[in-house]
Amino acid sequence: MTQPYETVIGLEIHAQLTTNTKIFCGCSTEFGKTPNSQTCPVCLGLPGALPVLNRQVVEFAIKTGLATNCQIAPRSIFARKNYFYPDLPKGYQISQFELPVCEHGWQDIELEGGESKRIGITRIHMEEDAGKLIHGDTPEALGTSLVDLNRACTPLLEIVSEPDMRSADEAISYLKKIHQIVVYLGVCNGNLEEGSFRCDANVSVRPYGQAELGTRAELKNINSFRFIKEAIEHEVERQIDLIESGGKVVQETRLFDSNTGMTRSMRGKEEAHDYRYFPDPDLVPLVIDDSWIDAVRSSLPELPDAKRKRFIEKLGLPEYDAEVLASDRLLANYFDACVTHAKEAKACANWIMGEVLRKLKETDTLIGEVPISPVMLAELLDRIADNTISGKIGKTVFEKMWQTGRGADELIESEGLKQVTDTGAIETLVDEVIAANPDQVAEYLGGKDKLIGFFVGKVMQASQGKANPGMVNQLLIKRLKGN
Amino acid sequence: MTIYDLTLAELRTKLDNRELSAVEVAEAYRARIAATDQDVNAYITVCDESAMAEAKLADQALAAGEIAPLTGLPIAAKDIFNTAGLKTTCASRILENYIAPYDATVIARIKEQKAVITGKLNMDEFAMGSSNENSAFGATRNPWNLNHVPGGSSGGSAACVASRQAAAALGTDTGGSIRQPASHCGVVGLKPTYGRVSRYGVIAYASSLDQVGPITRDVRDSALLLQAIAGHDPADSTSIDTPVPDYQATLTQELTGLKVGLPAEYFIDGLDEDVRRAVEQAVATYKELGAEIVEVSLPHTSYAVACYYLIATAEASSNLARYDGVRYGVRTDQAENLIDMYMQSRAAGFGAEVKRRIMLGTYALSSGYYDAYYLKAQKVRTMIRQDFLDAFAKVDVLLTPVAPTPAFTIGEKTNDPLQMYLSDIYTIPVNLAGTCAMSLPCGFSAAGLPIGLQLIGKPFEEATILRTAHAFEQATEWHKRKPEF
């Protein structure tokens, strides 16, 4: 039986921005400080305090908008979203409603089988975060709650997609793209666990062919890519089961419980707030002129998709290599810098994806802290390419470079690792090996050609790895066949 | 002459000449407040100790020759301004014990000049009212007749200056809250252009309308105090970064050729005959001073009060949401749950008029009503502003009454909010238009109550209304009268 229902998903992503200070005051945004130590009259909502917009937040919003093909509004408005909650000090959240800073964008995602699909981005707006409630859990403190306003007024971008996704996989693919972009731009640290990057999913189903959308449920509280997939899949199943058994989906907010993998109702539409949005009279309309947009545009880094394309088309990398190297901005920068100084792009890719990434993982180091600079790695690769050392010795040199921070040439010289290319010296070793292994020589001559590897290994061993393997091979065959 | 009868300018001269010390001035005011305030009830908090300490510091500065225009001058502030270390109540139970941890920008500015802050003044709760009867700490009385209201919401400020309990005061004006009480108390009140003075640290009633201004004994003092508080403040995004002119420099310029507009819609039925006569007399004075009188029209005037009570209450409903009992202010200890805590705390903390306006504003912003009320009001506001801009294409200043009647008696309008709202009919349009205006004494009613004249200026042309007012003051004696008190 074919699946008669189509899944429709739209995502609302909240990205906490990496500005040093809050969106409407000068308090620090640093995570994990003593409760309420990073507050002032503005973010505490004291009587008489007024917000002043942090321009860096606007810059980050423009960056994100440009990176996701949005139009940047020449004039946008901050609005108050009114509701009461103890973590919301003013009794309203300053957000954007009718005129957000970015609109009408899109992001392409790759589907399985190499096709790509365009996901619409309805809008991106700036807003302030709320504080945090800490509920008493000791017997004496039970029933009491404490308020920490350190997070209050930290800047968020809300990125709202069109309901363009048709499966949990598409949603994840889109989410990962946006995640990669905001991290690439440096506007968000992308940490899902700390809640720096959060996502609400609007999920509905409808019979295939039906034009209008089904009633949607909003899934909240999902803090990992895996859970988002689980939550969506569970919700789709729940809605289909409900409809199949004659029920109706109601518009509501549902919480995902990662322990059970289920969603449960949090509040229905009838309990939905009337937020009484209206323009915040404390903030003037935000005017963004073309020169500001141009300045931000010129500061944009090359984005992952463009980078991947360049790696494939200009540098001739395989798709897989391009994907891995482009996935992280610093890694890609490392690769790019290495390529500029080395002879072969593919060798750079191999070494970075192999040795460098392995070493990073082993030593729990970040790409920004690698003791071997891209120029140094390029030098090493060139020594391999020009046969000064073999690939195998190269790995030894790499290891020593990592430990000492010294250059390849210097190490090759001081450790005497230079490849032996003196024919006479290699011939001596070849003769010794042949003389020492008469049985194998007999077998080889009897037609067991594969034994050449055995002889090469022996000679290389005798040369302590320094003999040029190509020459060894040549000379061995010459001698053996000549016998 | 008694010390407390001196104007700011006169005190300045005497302090600079060492005829008086700041401590002597502060002591004179302390005694005056102690002798009179039980009748007037202008102060919520009297700053005995801190005022004396500030006066000593001012004397040290004077001795060292570090003299700013306000050094040593006794100034009181409406209890809407945050003053570090002092109670800041906004005349509300909900903030009854609230001690501000920081200074409003205007307070910081006058402190920087080493002015002496004599205390915090009574007002209508959260600046909502036209009579000062909406104070949680008792109504202020009009020094000209204690059975009458001083006007509001800066009624404490106007009564304080009129009764010589401070040399000058700071007030706020959202729909007439400086000008109407100044008019009722026979003093000079100026509402600057929206954006001219910082609102940072001023407890918000209606953010798009609120503006800080001086209440003084005469026009020169008004210029002096405005000079000290005006100017851009990076902490207030709505304050305008435009140069502040030297107001004293142009104060005495002649009025020859000045075009004074009389808006036809302001001289209508319901205008008290004494007020009409006094204002017409003022028009005659201006003619004598060489001004050209031009009749103009502000056609959308009749919509102003309705428009104001939608916009101001909408903003207030949101501005006052922070008084939730969570972080400061009144919190009930009876609540069963969170919603209960909100409802009981706010029910106990807010007075009736504040509750009425929160409800009005909440309604105006509600889904389904927003377009018909809030949005429509914003459109009307634009038209009202345009009325003024059109009129100012023809004239330099507008001349109108401040209030339709002199001060009414205490209790007269408390049960009729609509009548109360209409007492601001001539002042509200100025706030909606965002421009500047002032009230100055122009006569007395048959019953001996002061009557004020309103001069409305073009945006950021406070200098023009100040010199227009100053010429009138020079030609008349009204400002020299003081309540027998």
Q: What is the pLDDT of residues B233-283, one digit of tens each?
A: 999 999 999 999 999 999 999 999 999 999 999 998 789 999 999 999 999
Report the pLDDT value the prediction gives residue B29, as an integer from 0 to 100: 98
Average pLDDT over every residue of B150-157? 97
Report the pLDDT value the prediction gives residue A335, as an integer from 0 to 100: 95
Model confidence at A2, pLDDT cuts 50, 70, 90, reads: very low
Report the pLDDT value the prediction gives residue A20, as an integer from 0 to 100: 97
CA distance A145 to chain B (A): 11
Cβ–Cβ of B318/A47 closer than 8 Å? Answer: no
DSSP sequence for A268-292: EGGG------EE-TTSPPEE--HHH
Phi, psi of A82 (to 5 degrees): -90, 120
Residue B123 in contact with partner chain A when CB distance is under 8 A = no
Residue B343 in contact with partner chain A when CB distance is under 8 A = no
B437-447 pLDDT, tens per residue?
999 999 999 99
Q: Which DSSP symbol is given to A418?
A: P
Cβ–Cβ of B88/A147 closer than 8 Å? Answer: no
Using a CB-CB cut-off of 8 Å, the residues of chain B touching A147 are 326-327
CA distance B85 to chain A (A): 14
Single-letter code of the amino acid located at A112: E
Q: What is the CATH number of domain B3-257+396-480?
A: 3.90.1300.10
Measured CA to CA, the distance from residue A135 to residue B127 in angstroms comes to 37
Residue B48 in contact with partner chain A when CB distance is under 8 A = no
Angle of helix A452-462 versus helix A469-482 axis, rounded to 10: 120
- The structural domains of chain B, with segments of one domain joined by +, span 3-257+396-480
What's the ipTM? Answer: 0.96
Residue B370 in contact with partner chain A when CB distance is under 8 A = yes
With CA atoms as reference, the chain A residue closest to B327 would be A89
Model confidence at A271, pLDDT cuts 50, 70, 90, reads: low
Cβ–Cβ of A284/B237 closer than 8 Å? Answer: yes
The beta-carbon neighbor of B327 closest among A44, A52, A278 is A44
With CA atoms as reference, the chain A residue closest to B371 would be A278
CA distance A261 to chain B (A): 30
Mutate to test the interface with A, among B327, B344, B381 (most CBs of A within 10 A): B327
Average pLDDT over every residue of B330-347? 92
CA distance A134 to chain B (A): 14
CA distance A195 to chain B (A): 25
Cβ–Cβ of A47/B235 closer than 8 Å? Answer: no
Mutate to test the interface with A, among B310, B365, B373 (most CBs of A within 10 A): B365
A35-74 pLDDT, tens per residue?
999 999 999 999 999 999 999 999 999 999 999 999 999 9
Phi, psi of A213 (to 5 degrees): -75, 150
Measured CA to CA, the distance from residue B337 to residue B97 in angstroms comes to 24
3-state secondary structure of A383: helix
A84-139 pLDDT, tens per residue?
999 999 999 999 999 999 999 999 998 887 789 999 999 999 999 999 999 887 88
Cβ–Cβ of B342/A48 closer than 8 Å? Answer: no
Residue B366 in contact with partner chain A when CB distance is under 8 A = yes
Using a CB-CB cut-off of 8 Å, the residues of chain B touching A274 are 366-367
Using a CB-CB cut-off of 8 Å, the residues of chain A touching B202 are 48
With CA atoms as reference, the chain A residue closest to B201 would be A48
Report the pLDDT value the prediction gives residue A1, as an integer from 0 to 100: 40
Q: Which H or E run includes A404?
A: helix A391-404
Model confidence at A464, pLDDT cuts 50, 70, 90, reads: confident
- C-alpha closest to that of B298 among B242, B380, B227, B373: B380
Measured CA to CA, the distance from residue B170 to residue B3 in angstroms comes to 20
Measured CA to CA, the distance from residue A251 to residue A254 in angstroms comes to 10
The percent of residues in chain A predicted with pLDDT above 90, rounded, is 59
Q: Which DSSP symbol is given to A218?
A: E
Q: Which DSSP symbol is given to A108?
A: E
3-state secondary structure of A198: strand
Mutate to test the interface with B, among A40, A52, A84, A287 (most CBs of B within 10 A): A84
Architecture of domain A423-482: Orthogonal Bundle (1.10)
3-state secondary structure of A407: coil
Largest CA distance in chain A: 100
Using a CB-CB cut-off of 8 Å, the residues of chain A touching B102 are 41, 46
Cβ–Cβ of B321/A52 closer than 8 Å? Answer: no
Report the pLDDT value the prediction gives residue B442, as an integer from 0 to 100: 98
The beta-carbon neighbor of A92 closest among B81, B314, B318 is B318
With CA atoms as reference, the chain B residue closest to A47 would be B203
Report the pLDDT value the prediction gives residue A270, as an integer from 0 to 100: 55
B294-326 pLDDT, tens per residue?
999 999 999 999 999 999 999 999 999 999 999
Residue B374 in contact with partner chain A when CB distance is under 8 A = yes
Measured CA to CA, the distance from residue B478 to residue B235 in angstroms comes to 39
Q: What are the start and end residues of each CATH 1.10.10.410 domain in chain A? A: 423-482
Q: How many CB pairs under 8 A join A and B?
A: 95
Single-letter code of the amino acid located at B203: I
Cβ–Cβ of B318/A41 closer than 8 Å? Answer: no
Rg from Cα positions in chain B: 21
Report the pLDDT value the prediction gives residue A60, as an integer from 0 to 100: 98
Mean pLDDT across chain B: 96
Mean pLDDT across chain A: 90
B42-95 pLDDT, tens per residue?
999 999 999 999 999 999 999 999 999 999 999 999 999 999 999 999 999 999
Q: Which DSSP symbol is given to A192?
A: T
- C-alpha closest to that of A306 among A107, A144, A445, A142: A107
Chain A interface with B: residues with Cβ < 8 Å? 41, 44-53, 80, 82, 84, 86, 89-92, 147, 274, 276-278, 281-284
Beta bridge partners of residue A202, listed in sequence order: A10, A218
Using a CB-CB cut-off of 8 Å, the residues of chain B touching A89 are 322, 326-327
The beta-carbon neighbor of A47 closest among B82, B326, B367 is B82
Residues whose CB falls within 8 Å of the CB of residue A344, separated by 6 or more in sequence, listed in order: A381, A385
Average pLDDT over every residue of B96-116? 97
Measured CA to CA, the distance from residue A332 to residue A323 in angstroms comes to 10
The beta-carbon neighbor of B202 closest among A44, A48, A82 is A48
The beta-carbon neighbor of B374 closest among A44, A82, A278 is A278
Q: Which H or E run includes A102?
A: strand A102-110
Report the pLDDT value the prediction gives residue B420, as an integer from 0 to 100: 82
Q: For chain B, what is the HEC assignment?
A: CCHHHCCHHHHHHHHHCCCCCHHHHHHHHHHHHHHHHHHHCCEEEECHHHHHHHHHHHHHHHHCCCCCCCCCCEEEEECCECCCCCECCCCCHHHCCCECCCCCHHHHHHHHCCCEEEEEECCCHHHCCCCCCCCCCCCCCECCECCECCCCCCHHHHHHHHCCCCCEEEEEECCCCCHHHHHHHCCEEEECCCCCECCCCECCCCCCCCEEEEEECCHHHHHHHHHHHECCCCCCCCCCCCCCCCCCCCCCCCCCCCEEEEEHHHCCCCCCHHHHHHHHHHHHHHHHCCCEEEEECCCCHHHHHHHHHHHHHHHHHHHHHHCCCCCCCCCCCCCCCHHHHHHHHHHHHCCHHHHHHHHHHHHHHCCCCCHHHHHHHHHHHHHHHHHHHHHHCCCCEEEEECCCCCCCECCCCCCCHHHHHHCCCCCHHHHHHCCEEEEEEEEECCCCCEEEEEEEECCCCHHHHHHHHHHHHHHCCHHHCCCCC
Cβ–Cβ of B101/A41 closer than 8 Å? Answer: yes
Report the pLDDT value the prediction gives residue B93, as an integer from 0 to 100: 97
Using a CB-CB cut-off of 8 Å, the residues of chain B touching A52 are 234-237
Model confidence at A483, pLDDT cuts 50, 70, 90, reads: low
Residue B382 in contact with partner chain A when CB distance is under 8 A = no
Residue A26 has pLDDT above 80, yes or no: yes
Buried b (16+ CB within 10 A) or exposed e, A206-239: beeeeeeebebbbbbbbbeeebbbbbbbbbbebb
Q: Whole-angstrom distance between the N-terminal and C-terminal Cα of chain A?
A: 72
Residue A399 has pLDDT above 80, yes or no: yes
Residue A348 has pLDDT above 60, yes or no: yes
Report the pLDDT value the prediction gives residue A269, as an integer from 0 to 100: 57
Question: Can you say whether the dihedral through the CA atoms of B193, B198, B200, B203 is positive or negative?
Answer: negative
Q: Whole-angstrom distance between the N-terminal and C-terminal Cα of chain B?
A: 16
Long-range Cβ contact pairs of A457-460 (< 8 A, separation 24 or more): A458/A433, A459/A426, A459/A429, A459/A430, A459/A433
- C-alpha closest to that of B157 among B165, B147, B148: B165
Q: Which H or E run includes A136?
A: none
- C-alpha closest to that of B185 among B251, B141, B137: B141
Rg from Cα positions in chain A: 31
Please identify every residue of B annotated as catalytic: 78, 153, 177
Using a CB-CB cut-off of 8 Å, the residues of chain A touching B326 are 86, 89, 147
The beta-carbon neighbor of A90 closest among B203, B321, B374 is B321
Cβ–Cβ of B318/A48 closer than 8 Å? Answer: no
Measured CA to CA, the distance from residue B373 to residue B356 in angstroms comes to 16
Cβ–Cβ of B370/A278 closer than 8 Å? Answer: yes
Average pLDDT over every residue of A145-153? 95
Q: Which DSSP symbol is given to A64?
A: H
Mutate to test the interface with A, among B82, B87, B318 (most CBs of A within 10 A): B318
Average pLDDT over every residue of A459-478? 84
CA distance A193 to chain B (A): 28
Cβ–Cβ of B367/A274 closer than 8 Å? Answer: yes
Phi, psi of A91 (to 5 degrees): 80, 5
B396-413 pLDDT, tens per residue?
999 999 999 999 999 998
3-state secondary structure of A112: coil
CA distance B93 to chain A (A): 14
